């Protein structure tokens, strides 16, 4: 699914827990494929000349996994910003925020934002 808003293409996928467990690897691969399909759909419907912004539920990077296939897909399509949720309470301290390989990552779970709006 994709949306065009103010000359930007909004795309995304749910994502999944990044780990070495076989089932997590299988589901992560599925979500990576879904992310690429969402990006391709956005480009085909809205053109290649717009910024692509990715939204995900699960974090696409963690402190232990900083070079994920999510990043590879985002770099392939020149994504510069990615917003994600899932981390709450004590796990907020594990969030990767800032620029990683040219992509700006931001945790946007409600308590991660102290229940305040974030202008994107």
Q: Which two tokens stand for residue 5?
A: 């808003």
Question: Rounded CA gap, 104 and 89, in Å?
Answer: 22
Pairing of the two strands 51-56 and 2-5: unpaired
Q: List the pLDDT tens digit at each of the 120 positions of the chain.
A: 787 888 899 999 999 999 999 999 999 999 999 999 999 999 999 999 999 999 999 999 999 999 999 999 999 999 999 999 998 998 899 899 999 999 999 999 999 999 999 998
Question: Rounded CA gap, 84 and 52, in Å?
Answer: 15
Question: Rounded CA gap, 7 and 113, in Å?
Answer: 26
């Amino acid at each position: 699914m994709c949306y065009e808003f103010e000359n930007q293409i909004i795309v995304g996928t749910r994502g999944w827990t990044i780990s070495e467990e076989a089932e997590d690897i299988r589901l992560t691969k599925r979500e990576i494929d879904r992310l690429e399909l969402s990006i391709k759909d956005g480009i085909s419907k809205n053109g290649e000349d717009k910024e692509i912004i990715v939204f995900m539920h699960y974090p696409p990077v963690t402190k232990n996994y900083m070079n994920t296939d999510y990043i590879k897909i985002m770099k392939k399509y020149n994504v510069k910003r990615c917003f994600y949720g899932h981390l709450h309470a004590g796990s907020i301290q594990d969030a990767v925020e800032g620029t990683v390989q040219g992509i700006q990552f931001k945790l946007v779970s409600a308590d991660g934002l102290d229940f305040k709006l974030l202008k994107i």
